[in-house]
A = this chain, B = another copy of it.
């Protein structure tokens, strides 16, 4: 199996000023084509460290993907380290990348500066994959067997996440052409509402009965819920797909309604598909989640087909004046109550005219809870033509985590309501 290492260069990562999101995207793309990522390494903008680490990774892997260190500013020295590593003797201008640099800067109304132009210069021993979204080109260095003990390839990508992501398809194509790849089989199933340890207990017997070459992984995410991933490495493609499919079907039966999809996706994507398929619309009324549900619903391309809008009613007056929640409900039950959640969902459905509406009202913390409603409590309301329901959830004390879990729980309540009203589901396992 072809092995790869993903390297990230930049002091800003080592001092914790930015989170490395590139490595995850690159790993996912490599995984898809059956390349096994063995390591990810981040290290500093120090010439000797760059060369030493890349040499070591090239000795242990056939593919090394490097991101970062190619910006126009003075703290970036990756390119000259790569020139040395590859035995390049001079820099040559890539004319096509020069044209892209000019086009991009002009379209943003910016002058083309010398430091921008210099980004189209590459070491003579590399091939270029154009970066159409940014200024620094992708550099490809191919090493014969005598350099690092085996033939291997180094890809150097820009560090800006959307540029790195944009360059990935070309890099994957290049890897396919230059390496003979073995298959990896993964199937993911998405669950929401049951904790990792309770899932493990539920699946214990089945998991113990799995064939030796199959592996189940638990991948909890505060917004997505727990993903379960079943894997086989290598083997004959047709047979493996059938074997993994059989075990997958058993898994679906064991899990039932907590499964929201039988492939890797998100609650908001699933809700979008269910609504599009049934020609229905949705709106949201948010208190403690502060716009997070709206932001998640709107993040799906094409969301305007079914997402009408939302009201974030942080202040009680906004709940009353815009959503039409009766002051007597707030006076009698408080804003964190089943009654208020129901009135918010009904209110936003009425003023937007949507088919479905979801609402949240709770206490994200870190302070502000009461005996009856401690920090971490949320009431979720869901309303449609078939009626209004409310559900209470209780989580912990961490504000950001609570907001994420409240939003996720609310989306899952909405998902179940849409499934129940429309008779549709995004999982084929529990049909």
A403 within 8 A of B: yes
A302 (CB) vs chain B CBs: closest residue: B367
Q: Is the CB of A38 within 8 A of B44?
A: yes
A235 within 8 A of B: no
A125 within 8 A of B: no
Q: Is the CB of A19 within 8 A of B14?
A: no
**Chain copies in complex:** 2
Within 8 A of B (CB), among A105-149: 107-110, 113, 115-116, 133, 135
Q: How far is the CA of A73 from the CA of B292 in the complex (A)?
A: 30
Q: How far is the CA of A337 from the CA of B363 in the complex (A)?
A: 37
A308 (CB) vs chain B CBs: closest residue: B315
A37 within 8 A of B: yes
For A29, the chain B residues whose CB sits under 8 A away are 16
A215 within 8 A of B: yes
Given A26-B16, A115-B197, A221-B18, are A314 and B308 neighbors across the interface (CB < 8 Å)?
yes
Q: Is the CB of B315 within 8 A of A303?
A: no
Which of A91-99, A269-277, A394-402, A421-429 lies at the binding interface?
A: A394-402
Which of A239-247, A317-325, A378-386 lies at the binding interface?
A: A317-325
A178 within 8 A of B: no
Q: How far is the CA of A399 from the CA of B166 in the complex (A)?
A: 13
Q: Is the CB of A291 within 8 A of B312?
A: yes
**Of the residues B53, B110, B218, B290, contact of A75 by C-beta under 8 Å:** B218
Which of A78-86, A249-257, A293-301, A409-417 lies at the binding interface?
A: A293-301
Q: Is the CB of B21 within 8 A of A72?
A: no
Q: Is the CB of B218 within 8 A of A71?
A: yes
**Of the residues B24, B72, B399, B403, contact of A200 by C-beta under 8 Å:** B72
Given A17-B28, A314-B307, are A108 and B201 neighbors across the interface (CB < 8 Å)?
no
Q: How far is the CA of A45 from the CA of B364 in the complex (A)?
A: 34
Q: Is the CB of A31 within 8 A of B43?
A: no
Q: Is the interface of A mostly helix, strand, loop or mixed?
A: mixed
Q: Is the CB of A301 within 8 A of B366?
A: yes
Q: How far is the CA of A298 from the CA of B39 in the complex (A)?
A: 37
Instruction: Tell me the smallest distance from the CB of A312 to a CB of chain B, in Å.
Output: 4
A310 (CB) vs chain B CBs: closest residue: B312
Q: Is the CB of B299 within 8 A of A295?
A: no
For A166, the chain B residues whose CB sits under 8 A away are 398
For A8, the chain B residues whose CB sits under 8 A away are 40
For A186, the chain B residues whose CB sits under 8 A away are 15
A327 within 8 A of B: no
A12 within 8 A of B: yes
For A301, the chain B residues whose CB sits under 8 A away are 366, 399
Q: How far is the CA of A40 from the CA of B15 in the complex (A)?
A: 11
For A13, the chain B residues whose CB sits under 8 A away are 24, 27, 40
Instruction: Tell me the smallest distance from the CB of A155 to a CB of chain B, in Å.
Output: 16
Q: Is the CB of B162 within 8 A of A401?
A: yes
Known pairs A73-B218, A291-B312. 20 more at Cβ < 8 A?
Answer: A12-B229, A16-B24, A16-B37, A17-B219, A18-B24, A18-B221, A41-B41, A72-B197, A72-B200, A74-B207, A107-B394, A115-B200, A162-B396, A162-B400, A286-B291, A290-B298, A291-B310, A292-B295, A309-B314, A311-B312
Closest 5 CB pairs of A and B: A290-B298, A291-B294, A16-B28, A16-B27, A291-B291
